[in-house]
Amino acid sequence: MLEGLSTEEIVERGKNVVMNTYGRLPMTIVKGEGAWVWNPEGKQYLDFVTGLAVNSLGHSHPAIVRAIQEQAKELLHTSNIYWIANQVALAERLVEHSFADKVFFCNSGAEANEAAFKLARKYAKKNFGAHKYEVVALENSFHGRTLATLTLTGQTKYQDGFDPLPVGFSYAALNNIEDLRSKVNQNTAAVFIEPIQGEGGVIPASNEFLQEARALCDQYGALLIFDEVQCGVGRTGKLFAYEWSGVVPDIMTLAKALAGGVPIGAMLAKDEVAMAFQPGDHASTFGGNPLATAAGCAVLDVMLEDGFFAGVQERAAYFQKGLEQLAQKYQTGDPVRGKGFILGWPVSKLGPEIVGACLQSGLLINCVGGKILRFLPPLIVEKPEIDKALGILDEVFRKLWK
Ligand SMILES: *Cc1c(COP(=O)(O)O)cnc(C)c1O
């Protein structure tokens, strides 16, 4: 499979045959271990992107590798017309460690949100009537690229050119309680919230806002749906981001990190809500297949080991403090924000240049909206690696920042 090709050759051949849907960097990664990745030329990078919050246990984690290898030898795929033992095992882990009673498996974040959206509509119609189908999402949110999920996404740049869009959506401003109150009413089937907006620039929802959303949903019989596709599965230093706020949703969606790099999505709900789905209402050919759910079980078993999250929280606080010191030193403006290992550093200018200079110096970071540096290091990153990343950032700012 194209072994031995250089970065340049892979990029050139890719441009010929791969659809032009990403503004890709002229870069390719062919190997990874822990917090490190390598390109075909053998150049080494510290990975603080982790495939956008996917490789949360780092690259080639032995527990995940073992689970995949062993499962591949036994069985890759059956169908959801049969019971799948690994899927049951992963659902049991998720149910045991969350508010939820039932899990639906699919293959991506968009699909998980699509499933949540369908379940919410079904539930609302069944329990309240045909008028109750509207969904309130948030401005600046991100929920995926299918037609329903890009309509949920409160950013017109993702929607332009794809209309007519599905109807029944409105948008409230994040952390604006008055605005949210004005949008939720008896026709509302669901309110969709990312506890921390990821693509929108690492913006946490305030506890007061989440509490108010919960109260409004209770008042009007609407479902509160948390999209934890990016901020869930350990990213914030707890298994789920909602645990920090104490506000419990009715439905939660997961994907990115859940199987450590194998495609997976999941939609979790309380029993009373999950019951709105009957056989035939929703499905996914690959959803929760033996391979993906073997990897998912391996990921959760590592994260649920005693002391894992204490270590994550400690190292994440250390990293955040380092970033705050740099933001202070270079007077970059707005404070560093986020939780655990999903951190955003607003820089207001030079975002792409900083990302490019870090790349040159062997550090992969990402920038959202052109002006917020986003850091998604693996949860297993060690202090010397964090020091190395902070050192590279310091050097890059010393050269670029004026
Ligand atoms: C990435 C992301 C999605 C979409 O996930 P895909 O797997 O790309 O479909 C949805 N919601 C949030 C919050 C995300 O970060």
Averages of pLDDT over runs of 10 residues in the chain (402 residues) are 91 96 94 98 98 98 98 97 98 98 98 98 97 97 97 95 96 98 98 98 98 98 98 98 97 98 98 97 97 98 98 98 98 97 97 97 95 98 98 98 90
Tell how far the Cα of 154 is from the centroid of ligand 1, in angstroms: 13
Contact 239, 98 (CB under 8 A): yes
Rounded Cα gap, residues 366 and 387, in angstroms: 18
Cα distance between residue 335 and residue 322, in whole Å? 12
Mutate to test the pocket of ligand 1, among 22, 106, 229, 235 (most ligand atoms within 8 A of CB): 229
Nearest of 376, 352, 379, 396 to residue 48 by alpha carbon: 376
Question: Cα(237)–Cα(153) distance, rounded to whole angstroms?
Answer: 26
Binding site listing for pyridoxal 5'-phosphate: 109-110, 142, 227-230, 285
Quote the CA–CA distance of 352 and 366 in Å, as a whole number.
Answer: 8
Q: What is the pLDDT of residue 2?
A: 83
Query: What is the pTM assigned to this prediction?
Result: 0.98
Give the angle 151-155-157 at the CA atoms, nearest 5°. Answer: 100
CA dist., res. 265 & res. 105, Å (int): 6
What's the chain look like in SS3? CCCCCCHHHHHHHHHHHCCCCCCCCCCCCCEEEECEEECCCCCEEEECCHHHHCCCCCECCHHHHHHHHHHHHHCCCCCCCCCCHHHHHHHHHHHHCCCCCEEEEECCHHHHHHHHHHHHHHHHHHHHCCCCCEEEEEECCCCCCCHHHHHHCECHHHCCCCCCCCCCEEEECCCCHHHHHHHCCCCEEEEEECCEECCCCCEECCHHHHHHHHHHHHHHCCEEEEECCCCCCCCCCCCCCHHHHCCCCCEEEECHHHHECECCEEEEECHHHHCCCCCCCCCCCCCCCHHHHHHHHHHHHHHCCCCHHHHHHHHHHHHHHHHHHHHHHCCCCCCCEEECCEEEEECCCCHHHHHHHHHHCCEECEEECCCEEEECCCCCCCHHHHHHHHHHHHHHHHHHCC
What pLDDT score does 3 carry?
Answer: 85
User: 113: Cβ–Cβ under 8 A, 6 or more apart, which residues?
Assistant: 143, 144, 148, 149, 152, 192, 227, 229, 253, 267
Q: Residues 363, 392: contact at Cβ < 8 Å?
A: yes
State the distance from the centre of ligand 1 to the C-alpha of 139, rounded, in angstroms.
16
Binding site members for N(2)-acetyl-L-ornithine = 145, 284
* Ligand 1 nearest atom to the CA of residue 228, by list position: 13
Distance (angstroms) between ligand 1 centre and the Cα of 368 equals: 14
Ligand 1 within 6 A of CB of 250 = no
In the chain the domains, ranked by start, together with CATH numbers, are 25-54+306-400 (3.90.1150.10), 76-289 (3.40.640.10)
Distance CA 62, CA 290 (A): 18
Under the phi-then-psi rule, with left for phi > 0, alpha for psi from -120 to 50, and beta for the rest, what region is 44? beta
Q: Ligand 1 within 6 A of 108 CB?
A: yes
Q: Residue 270 corresponds to which tokens in the numbers above?
A: 């309380």
* β-pairing verdict for 36-38 and 265-269: unpaired
Rounded to 5 degrees, φ, ψ at 339 are: -150, 135
Lookup: tokens for 390: 């902070």
Separation of first and last alpha carbons in the chain: 45
Query: 253 near 109, Cβ under 8 Å?
Result: yes
pLDDT at position 240 is: 98
